[in-house]
Structure 1
Amino acid sequence: MKKLIKSSSQMQRFRSVNTIRYNHRSARTYVCIPFHYFHDNILKIVKRDDSKNDYFQLNVSGKIVDFSISYKHKKYFPVAFHQPDGFKSLIESIHNYLLDFFGDSVEFYWEAHNYKKPIPQLENLTALLHLRHGLTESDILDMTRFENFISSSPVLKCIDSDILNVPAPMSPESKFYQAEYIETWQPEPTLPAILRYFQGRQAFLKWWKCDTQNVIEFVNKWKSGEAFHKLEHLKIKNYENEFPQNEILDAIGAQHIDHAKKPPTHILPKIYFDIAFQKEAHTDPITSYTYVVRRTDNRVASVSIDGGIFSFGVWDKTEEEFLRIVE
């Protein structure tokens, strides 16, 4: 099959591919290629329906797999089938085939949309979780199942979720807090307590209500070098009320740049960027006259408080180096 593909007119198209995604939902998984504004599905993976008999078989990395052809959205694409207990082995075979076909020229992502099955541990695979949970009062997060999903999956590159109806705190040691990027909407700042236990690099937290003390404790922990060693950028949006700017700046011992000068702007590439659906590939810029300094290495972080938005950007510079770039 590989020889057939490589000799076909589609080979030029495949040479332009740099990302492949496994888009996993409850009853199906799509293998797709992200393009601007859409994901182009190239394969669908579902459980075999024994009432159908229009299958043909192909050898995929040494495994004989049943296929059929589906027509949807004005295009044909193959469908691979697995037995009820054969999902894992089929995914492994398909992934090995794609690795062999593309080599290390592409990045592989697995995006889970629920926590029913752990994300498989596959070579060169980046794990993502896109979860919309608790939109009704009866939809309560199953903590045992969710923690099992997190602990059994690879460390997540990105968590993008609305986490409502969380019945209990997560363990401080949960791999949830190890995700490199977390974006959440949550009514209660401590469920989960990202601002207390986050170990990743970038976060965007949307809160229904604000706990000023949590913000103060976060900054002071960073300043002491006690936690948040990898942190690069943090943004909190509070929907219910504004952050008390003077109270927070006084409590964190913020330092100030002379208003006659122009402060530098903190901006970074996002840890994860989906070319299909995200418009901005960089973090929101932070241009602020206030900053704090970490005692352990003299590193600087810009601090901005604007109404209900708190922004925190860590510079790869000491205070002396930072002040040199102030115009």
Structure 2
Amino acid sequence: MDLKNYRKDRNGIFSLNVSGKMIDFQMCKGRKKAMVCFEERDKESVIESILNHCLDFFGSSVPFYWRFDYLKDYFVPKLNTVSLCIDICLEKDFSDWEKLETFISSSPVFKWIGLETKAAAQSFHPESKFHQVESIRIVQLENTFPFSAMLRHFKGRQATVICNRRINSEDLIEFVNRWKSGEAFQRLEYLTLDLHDYGDRIPIGVPQNQILDEIGVKYIDAKKQPPTHTVPKLYDWNYRKIQLNTYPIMSRAYVVRQLDNRVASISIGESAFRFGVWDKTEEEFLELISQHP
């Protein structure tokens, strides 16, 4: 169901009683879904009525997501029982970063943000709610993205970045060392950086051995089979039906966090950097490996 219909002249409108409020709907034959017709002044009450109807029908045990992919109105409903997800696509001429920053900061913390931008992206404020999002997916195949700032300030659990610019090895070293020390990223479960150029992979452009040496990496015995790290995705609108889990990481290299002795698998390939945190201490991790020769 779409929550806004901008073309009310195409098909007949019918009304339904939704949690005590009469709301107009219209069927969209092409998209095969109902579209809500309402005046701008009624949008909050309409959305609240639809949510209450869903809660009455499904109960509170079913997760509800408010997902939208346009920033025309910069509107997010104040609904306590809904996880907020936003899919943003910014064209080359986009320049109103201050308004976007204000919109994100004035909204509740998002469950998921998908950001595809062709514009030269600017850094968000270090305390911006952009960095607090639970899960984020960034696609930047033109211009540049401030990857260093995101690595430094991200406070969420899962992050995927796809870009076509080589990255600085110092940024990756700083990221891993801050995780190891417990200074940052304590909630992180998974991070991946993929370098693409419209479908073609490009070299990641970082000295792998230098990074592995400087982060104090440890290695699983060469005779042992390394375990595969993967966790359920918190949310991903683009691949929600076909990829339920994060990309699997199978690597002999791992690092240990000083704070609680937790382990993270680390993989640096020709065009990808992957980092997966286990819910196990080093002792438990090695015990897991010993059980699978």
| Shorter-normalised TM range | 0.7 to 0.9
Residue from 165, 184, 198 that aligns with 1:227: 184
RMSD in angstroms over aligned alpha carbons? Answer: 2.7
Please state how far the C-alpha of 1:277 moved relative to its aligned partner: 5.5
Residue from 156, 160, 170 that aligns with 1:213: 170
Moved more, 311-320 or 218-227: 311-320
Match of 2:94 in 1: 140
1:301 aligns with 2:248: no
1:203 aligns with 2:154: no
Please state how far the C-alpha of 1:230 moved relative to its aligned partner: 0.4
Normalised to the residue count of structure 2, the TM-score between the two structures is 0.85
Secondary structure of the residue aligned to 1:237 is: strand
1:264 aligns with 2:223: no
Please state how far the C-alpha of 1:241 moved relative to its aligned partner: 2.8
Q: Distance in 2 between matches of 1:281 and 1:129?
A: 18
Secondary structure of the residue aligned to 1:85 is: helix
Q: Distance in 2 between matches of 1:156 and 1:173?
A: 14
Q: Distance in 1 between matches of 2:223 and 2:138?
A: 37
Match of 2:199 in 1: none
Alignment-mate amino acid for residue 244 of structure 1: P
Aligned pair in 2 of structure 1 residues 295, 108: CA closer, same or farther (>3 Å)?
A: same
Residue from 272, 275, 290 that aligns with 2:253: 290
Match of 2:123 in 1: 169
Secondary structure of the residue aligned to 1:45 is: coil
Please state how far the C-alpha of 1:265 moved relative to its aligned partner: 1.4
Cα deviation, 1:7-52, whole Å, max 9, x if unaligned, reads xxxxxxxxxxxxxxxxxxxxxxx34xxxxxxxxxxxx533696x89
User: What is the percent sequence identity of the aligned residues?
Assistant: 43
Q: Distance in 2 between matches of 1:319 and 1:80?
A: 53
Q: Distance in 2 between matches of 1:185 and 1:275?
A: 12
Match of 1:46 in 2: 5
1:159 aligns with 2:110: no
Aligned pair in 2 of structure 1 residues 115, 192: CA closer, same or farther (>3 Å)?
A: farther
Match of 2:55 in 1: 99
Please state how far the C-alpha of 1:302 moved relative to its aligned partner: 0.8
- Kept in 2: contact 1:201–1:230 (CA 8 A): yes
Cα deviation, 1:33-85, whole Å, max 9, x if unaligned, reads xxxxxxxxxxx533696x89x655444333333x254351496x654322232
Please state how far the C-alpha of 1:182 moved relative to its aligned partner: 0.9
1:241 aligns with 2:195: no
Match of 1:27 in 2: none
Please state how far the C-alpha of 1:102 moved relative to its aligned partner: 2.3
Q: Distance in 2 between matches of 1:180 and 1:237?
A: 20
Residue from 21, 35, 39 that aligns with 1:83: 39
Moved more, 252-261 or 235-244: 235-244
Count of residue correspondences: 280
Q: Distance in 1 between matches of 2:188 and 2:222?
A: 27
Q: Distance in 1 between matches of 2:96 and 2:28?
A: 37
Q: Distance in 2 between matches of 1:217 and 1:203?
A: 17
More strand by share: 1
Structure 1: unaligned runs, 5 residues or longer: 1-29, 32-43
Match of 1:316 in 2: 279
- Kept in 2: contact 1:61–1:96 (CA 8 A): yes
Q: Distance in 2 between matches of 1:202 and 1:273?
A: 11
Task: Specify the structure having the higher radius of gyration (Cα).
Answer: 1
Aligned pair in 2 of structure 1 residues 286, 62: CA closer, same or farther (>3 Å)?
A: same
Aligned pair in 2 of structure 1 residues 225, 57: CA closer, same or farther (>3 Å)?
A: same
Match of 2:77 in 1: 120
Q: Distance in 2 between matches of 1:259 and 1:203?
A: 30
- Kept in 2: contact 1:236–1:310 (CA 8 A): yes
Cα deviation, 1:63-111, whole Å, max 9, x if unaligned, reads 333x254351496x65432223222221112222222232224321111
Alignment-mate amino acid for residue 62 of structure 2: V
Q: Distance in 2 between matches of 1:56 and 1:289?
A: 61
- Kept in 2: contact 1:168–1:191 (CA 8 A): no
- Kept in 2: contact 1:143–1:168 (CA 8 A): yes
- Kept in 2: contact 1:111–1:129 (CA 8 A): yes
1:61 aligns with 2:19: yes
Q: Distance in 2 between matches of 1:102 and 1:217?
A: 46
